[in-house]
């Protein structure tokens, strides 16, 4: 094996590192994840396996036949017709055309649709439009067809929503008021998630995706958990995926709990247990990519978190491998060499149930 190995930084820059440098990055990355999550580091053979994947001279790498996993997505077909800000390629086509193209031309394991804003709140006033669209498309699709969006608690704060804005209250030292605002917003969000979920279930929704939960903090994550539990009671025949927005739940509130467990600071192996308890069929974990570190460092962290989450989980764990998560570089055109190494490592070493 040659000593200079082509690799990427977390921002996508292509660099050459020595074998020792890559091994050191892997060691440091897994140690970082283990320290933060209080979980085991990758074993020495696992670190060596990751090194072999990173050092493979092929542009694209993959798992062996029989090791393949399925892929769920968060509005992937939207990228066919949306613009740059959505990672889209701007082909003028309808949602149905995009979804069927994704299913049939790309061989997608699952498909999905969503509102172009990709948050649940704006779906509420146009729910009948979305129900019609979902129903019509579901007659045509064969693969599992999800409706997805983000809870996005931030939309419930002023000036976009009815609640006082914690981002203004917290810097002013108004902790109690900021917490009250988040609790009020959480209740609004939960109601909207349940409303949209029940409406879609009524037109035969095959699966709902609560995507990027916790992006506005622990109250955001809580709203999704509460809505998930309520929907499982109300419409038990509709499977629900719940995916997180980052490797730990941000404590914007700091004190909210679910089943007596504080959500703030939860890492994937802890998140999956509350998601599971709420009734999700699949947990989507996210690990943030550090743009200043190599993909070896980032991937070692992602694999370490993934392995712990999969071991703790009784439901399938899918790892988010979009732009800037899961070890994939933070750029709008993720390099295929990095993406394929991330996919292979998370499946072979992290034991992910899907991506």
CB of 221 to another protein, least distance (A): 20
Among 26, 155, 181, 238, binds another protein (CB under 8 A): 238
Residue 143 CB neighbour total at 10 angstroms: 15
Asked whether position 112 contacts another protein by CB under 8 A, the answer is: no
37 vs 279, which CB is nearer to another protein?
279
Instruction: Reduce the DSSP state of residue 318 to 3 states and report it.
Output: strand
Cα–Cα distance list, 113 to 39, 75, 135, 195, 263 (Å): 36, 6, 11, 17, 29
Which residue from 1, 44, 139, 172 is in contact with another protein, where contact means CB under 8 A? Answer: 139
Does residue 71 touch another protein according to CB under 8 A?
A: yes
154 binds another protein (CB under 8 A): no
Task: Please list every residue from 241 through 270 that binds another protein, using CB under 8 A.
Answer: none
* 3-state secondary structure (DSSP) of residue 38: coil
Is-contact 130 92, C-beta < 8 A?
no
> Cα(95)–Cα(254) distance, rounded to whole angstroms?
39
For residue 235, the minimal CB distance to another protein (Å) is: 8
Q: Cα separations (Å) of 251 from 106, 218, 256, 265, 344?
A: 39, 5, 9, 6, 32
Of the residues 70, 170, 180, 312, which one makes contact with another protein according to CB under 8 A: 70
Question: Who contacts 70 (Cβ-Cβ below 8 Å, separation ≥6)?
Answer: 109, 110, 354, 355
Q: Which of 197, 269, 185 is nearest to 222 (CA)?
A: 185
Q: What is the DSSP string of 196-260?
A: HHHHHHTTT---EEEEEETTT-HHHHHHHHHHHHHHHHH-TTS-EEEEESSSS---SSS--EETT
Interface pick for another protein out of 32, 46, 133, 206 (rule CB under 8 A):
206
If binding is defined by CB under 8 A, does position 281 make contact with another protein? yes
Cis upstream peptide for 110 (omega within 30°): no
Q: Which stretch binds another protein (CB under 8 A): 54-62, 163-171, 218-226, 308-316?
A: 308-316
The 3-state DSSP class for residue 149 equals strand
Question: d(Cα 207, Cα 211) in Å, to the nearest integer?
Answer: 12
Measure the CA–CA gap between 249 and 124, rounded to whole angstroms: 26
Q: Is 237 in the site for another protein (CB under 8 A)?
A: yes
Of 117-125, 178-186, 233-241, 257-265, the window that binds another protein (rule: CB under 8 A) is 233-241
Interface with another protein: number of residues (CB under 8 A): 40
By CB under 8 A, which span of 30-38, 101-109, 150-158, 164-172 interacts with another protein? 101-109
Footprint (CB under 8 A) of another protein, residues 314-343: 314-316
Which segment (15-23, 68-76, 178-186, 190-198) binds another protein by CB under 8 A? Answer: 68-76
Which is nearer to another protein, 28 or 70 (by Cβ)?
A: 70
User: Between residues 41 and 103, which has the closer beta carbon with respect to another protein?
Assistant: 103
Enumerate binding residues for another protein (CB under 8 A).
Answer: 65-66, 68-72, 103-104, 106-110, 138-145, 201, 203-207, 237-239, 281-282, 313-316, 352-354
């Amino acid at each position: 094996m040659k000593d200079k190995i082509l690799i990427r930084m977390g921002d996508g820059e292509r660099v050459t590192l020595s074998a020792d440098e890559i091994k050191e990055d892997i060691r440091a990355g897994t140690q970082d994840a283990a320290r933060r999550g209080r979980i085991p580091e990758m074993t020495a053979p696992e670190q060596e396996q990751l090194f072999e994947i990173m050092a493979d001279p092929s542009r694209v790498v993959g798992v062996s036949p029989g090791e393949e996993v399925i892929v769920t997505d968060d509005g992937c077909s939207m990228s066919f017709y949306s613009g740059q800000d959505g990672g889209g390629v701007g082909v003028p086509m309808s949602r149905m055309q995009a979804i069927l193209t994704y299913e049939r031309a790309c061989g997608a394991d699952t498909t999905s649709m969503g509102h172009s804003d990709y948050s649940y709140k704006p779906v509420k006033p146009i729910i009948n439009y979305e129900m019609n669209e979902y129903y019509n498309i579901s007659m045509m699709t064969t693969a599992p067809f999800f409706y997805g969006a983000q809870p996005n608690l931030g939309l419930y704060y002023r000036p976009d929503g009815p609640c006082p804005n914690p981002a203004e209250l917290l810097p002013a030292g108004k902790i109690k008021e900021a917490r009250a605002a988040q609790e009020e917003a959480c209740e609004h969000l939960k109601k909207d998630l349940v409303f949209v979920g029940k409406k879609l279930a009524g037109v035969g929704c095959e699966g709902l995706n609560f995507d990027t939960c916790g992006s506005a903090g622990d109250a955001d994550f809580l709203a999704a958990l509460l809505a998930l539990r309520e929907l499982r009671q109300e419409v038990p025949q509709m499977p629900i995926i719940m995916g997180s927005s980052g490797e730990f739940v941000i404590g914007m509130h700091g004190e909210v709990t679910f089943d007596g467990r504080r959500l703030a600071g939860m890492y994937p192996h802890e998140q999956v247990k509350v998601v599971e308890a709420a009734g999700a069929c699949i947990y989507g974990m996210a690990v943030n990519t550090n743009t200043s570190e190599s993909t070896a460092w980032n991937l070692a962290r992602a694999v370490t978190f993934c392995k712990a989450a999969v071991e703790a989980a009784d439901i399938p764990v899918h790892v988010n491998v979009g732009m800037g998560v899961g070890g994939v570089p933070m750029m709008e055109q993720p390099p295929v060499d990095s993406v394929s190494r991330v996919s292979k490592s998370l499946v072979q070493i992290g034991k992910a149930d899907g991506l």
